[in-house]
Structure 1
């Protein structure tokens, strides 16, 4: 997917910029040029037919006049063409210093972006490249995992979707994509995101624009330090936070200043701070999806175990899906998907089954496929199976009746989870498949082989005796 056309690739573009820009700044420049082309192609001229700033700037880059002047000309064109977007996102689109970029270094970049048939695809190429080459900093949710979250959340027209650690904005955009694929109007979703990383928000702002979407993006500031949507709750909350995050509590201040209805999270691990934030930000009929390390489902640590127990006892947890390892780059931990709702009573955005006091556990550990060395992805069939299982359990109209499936899924009661010390790891609950019965002829065949083997032993002993007699006569 990295190749656009004419044999060019993102790797070649970045190689040309090596030395003039740091790798992350070079990638940001590429994404800004992609956005400029998008803006130029979607803007219309004014009533006199004059060119808009974006169309004029892109035309100048295509003519080669500005990039021959080097980085200063390129920076001027980008700022002029993206001025409206910079204002919209409070200068989140600040570009790196391009003063050291020579004109010829930009040629491959302009050609690659100009030749691309689909700008959203090459923007995804940029995100994938950042994931596979980054040694630190911002990490984003792979598209296959993001589509799984969108599928189980089933966003609907009129919903407000919120990601408190939005990264590149991928989870928000996948929600929009899911609604559109389901026949809904994507623009009927309201998208909200916050992140503490400035570079992540820069990427999210460009990603949203390239996809022709709108979103309210806030930051850069930690959601825990300052929730920029403090007065709002949402129909859908999705999050892929940093796992086992330490130092999140501002030296202990946040642990004692924020409301923690299910218990104060430990200072060295924010997993259950994120879980409580997701629940807190849902409307009374809202839904939440949260990625956590699998250890969070079974840890015996006192504080975390107590919070997990209270989430179960309060019946806000609906489902845990144990996912394969290796789905998220740079994360060694196996991953689990936790789904939340404040009511499991039958309703329009839930289903016809009353699942109060019940919990669905899905063991999907063996569903991944290797795509590259050290990188695994979840095939479409596996995602659909998880989504359909969750829908059947809720009694969604048109779904098949739910049944427990050995080695795949089980529905358990609150009492059953409590009996296992509130361990919600699916593989600790889902029964193994029944042992296959051995056909009768197989038993007969085993008996025949046993008789044959015993006969061979007897022959061996006889031959050994005869050999000893022969040796004694020598």
Structure 2
């Protein structure tokens, strides 16, 4: 559908226009079925577009209809809805889009399909995280209806909406889940606001502002913190000013790489019984660079790291390298939000590099059964209710002590610790096989003697 606007608008502007049109249709549908409502702005604007109204006079007609129907602002949005210049959008392109949106069965599903296309727009998954990855995060975090979930690089809001979906799927009340997000990118924030509106959800969104430089929720901590930040982000420290701040109890992160700044931010924003999940490049788990390795060691020694899941390459658009999912918690002692197992001083490493399937060229995904296996392994290790007892599985998972991690210079890359399973053999047990070989060898000796006798007889006849 974005191809219809490709000649007139940049890809992100085209996407924003289409999503605003979908939201207008969603709001119009709601107003049409609200017998007691007295607000019909979205319905009037949508009907104007559907009936071939002012947009036929040029682009401004479409922009004005969207602005009027959405009141210039979108619920949850900290920024005003400002559409791109639509002068170059031709009548037939507008007509195609309106008919296409009108024909959609469910505008929320259509909106999700638009978000799926953002994987071809940003760089490094800047404000888009594929749905299979968001599902994996949330299945590991298991948010409950009475909790608060925070994403410091919320992008299009996928993690937060997935948390809401998880609560609903477990017979909870998703409206009781408090959602918070911040992002430095204005378009990302507006996309998130549109996303929440079309899913009839409420969130506290802040920005545009860099979370590391300007935390807009400075006095809050959260039950669940989830983040997929830009990898290996340089220039984050504002010429060294931020590195001197009070936010780095495990050591100042290097100026040229924000990976462990994000790790410390996630830990800092967790409540006393909170948990967190952070996506990092796999190299962060074993790097020997001084500042990063020292912070990693401090995270292990302070026992706030719960585990690391090593994932394959190709899961995140525009990120070619493999990635790892870091799991944090403030308390590994038995409690309601953790489980019955005391895992203090212990760490779970899962090697899930072989869990992905190819979905398209250059793009891989973690299928449902693999996500369930990862989540079930972590839940069993924690002693979550209804889970079987945890056991190490060669080639898949291993639980290590703090001393064992320290002996490897605090290397927490799962593939460096989780031994491959022993090679499977179809051969019988050794004693049985030895007996078979002995019988076979004795038979060959007998055949050799017979052939020797026959050869002697032949030679004697010459």
Q: Calculate the TM-score normalised by the size of structure 1.
A: 0.88
1:280 partnered with 2:282: no
Q: Deviations over 1:191-243 (max 9, x none)?
A: 10000011111111111111111111111110011100001000100000001
Q: After superposing the two structures, state which structure 1 stretch, 90-99 or 230-239, moved more.
A: 90-99
Cα contact 2:76–2:202 (8 A) shared by 1: no
Among residues 290, 296, 302, which one is paired with 1:302 in the alignment?
Answer: 290
Among residues 400, 403, 408, which one is paired with 2:388 in the alignment?
Answer: 400
Aligned residue number for residue 373 of structure 2: 385
1:239 partnered with 2:227: yes
Cα contact 1:67–1:104 (8 A) shared by 2: no
Cα offset, 1:325, TM superposition: 1.0
Alpha-carbon distance in 2 for matches of 1:336, 1:135? 18
1:114 partnered with 2:102: yes
1:366 partnered with 2:376: no
1:72 partnered with 2:40: no
Evaluate the alpha carbon distance shift between residue 313 and residue 27 of structure 1 in structure 2; reply closer, same or farther with a 3 A threshold.
same
Evaluate the alpha carbon distance shift between residue 99 and residue 442 of structure 1 in structure 2; reply closer, same or farther with a 3 A threshold.
farther
1:143 partnered with 2:131: yes
1:269 partnered with 2:248: no
1:43 counterpart SS class = helix
Evaluate the alpha carbon distance shift between residue 430 and residue 160 of structure 1 in structure 2; reply closer, same or farther with a 3 A threshold.
same
Cα contact 1:92–1:201 (8 A) shared by 2: no
Among residues 191, 196, 202, which one is paired with 1:208 in the alignment?
Answer: 196
Alpha-carbon distance in 2 for matches of 1:157, 1:387? 19
Cα offset, 1:119, TM superposition: 1.9
Aligned residue number for residue 459 of structure 1: none
Q: After superposing the two structures, state which structure 1 stretch, 109-118 or 281-290, moved more.
A: 109-118
Structure 1 unaligned regions, length at least 5: 1-9, 456-474
Among residues 403, 413, 419, which one is paired with 2:407 in the alignment?
Answer: 419
Aligned residue number for residue 170 of structure 1: 158
Aligned residue number for residue 5 of structure 1: none
Cα contact 1:45–1:52 (8 A) shared by 2: no
1:59 partnered with 2:47: yes
Among residues 238, 242, 264, which one is paired with 1:250 in the alignment?
Answer: 238
Tell me the number of residue pairs that the alignment of Structure 1 and Structure 2 aligns: 443
Aligned residue number for residue 93 of structure 1: 81
Among residues 82, 85, 108, which one is paired with 2:70 in the alignment?
Answer: 82
1:439 partnered with 2:428: yes
Structure 2 unaligned regions, length at least 5: 448-462
Q: Calculate the TM-score normalised by the size of structure 2.
A: 0.91
Alpha-carbon distance in 1 for matches of 2:350, 2:124? 32
Cα offset, 1:59, TM superposition: 1.4
Q: Deviations over 1:299-323 (max 9, x none)?
A: 0111101000000000000011001
Alpha-carbon distance in 2 for matches of 1:21, 1:400? 54
Cα contact 1:192–1:215 (8 A) shared by 2: yes
1:335 partnered with 2:323: yes
Q: After superposing the two structures, state which structure 1 stretch, 60-69 or 293-302, moved more.
A: 60-69
Alpha-carbon distance in 2 for matches of 1:211, 1:446? 73
Cα offset, 1:45, TM superposition: 7.8
Alpha-carbon distance in 2 for matches of 1:402, 1:434? 20
Cα offset, 1:329, TM superposition: 0.8
Cα contact 1:239–1:289 (8 A) shared by 2: yes
Cα contact 2:332–2:342 (8 A) shared by 1: yes
Alpha-carbon distance in 1 for matches of 2:36, 2:308? 58
1:162 counterpart SS class = strand
Cα offset, 1:448, TM superposition: 6.3
Alpha-carbon distance in 2 for matches of 1:302, 1:135? 28
Q: Deviations over 1:248-294 (max 9, x none)?
A: 11111111124210000000000000000000000000110000011
Cα offset, 1:93, TM superposition: 2.1
Alpha-carbon distance in 2 for matches of 1:218, 1:240? 17
Q: Deviations over 1:149-175 (max 9, x none)?
A: 000000001111000011111011111
Q: Deviations over 1:90-118 (max 9, x none)?
A: 44421111122222221111111111112
1:146 counterpart SS class = helix
Alpha-carbon distance in 1 for matches of 2:253, 2:311? 24
Q: Deviations over 1:347-376 (max 9, x none)?
A: 011101111111111110000000001100
Cα offset, 1:47, TM superposition: 7.6
1:156 partnered with 2:168: no
Q: After superposing the two structures, state which structure 1 stretch, 187-196 or 90-99, moved more.
A: 90-99
Cα offset, 1:180, TM superposition: 0.8
1:366 counterpart SS class = helix
Aligned residue number for residue 320 of structure 1: 308
Cα offset, 1:401, TM superposition: 0.8
Query: Aligned-residue CA RMSD in angstroms?
Result: 2.4
Aligned residue number for residue 180 of structure 1: 168
1:217 counterpart SS class = strand
Alpha-carbon distance in 2 for matches of 1:70, 1:447? 93
1:190 partnered with 2:214: no
2:4 counterpart SS class = helix
Aligned residue number for residue 461 of structure 1: none
1:102 partnered with 2:81: no
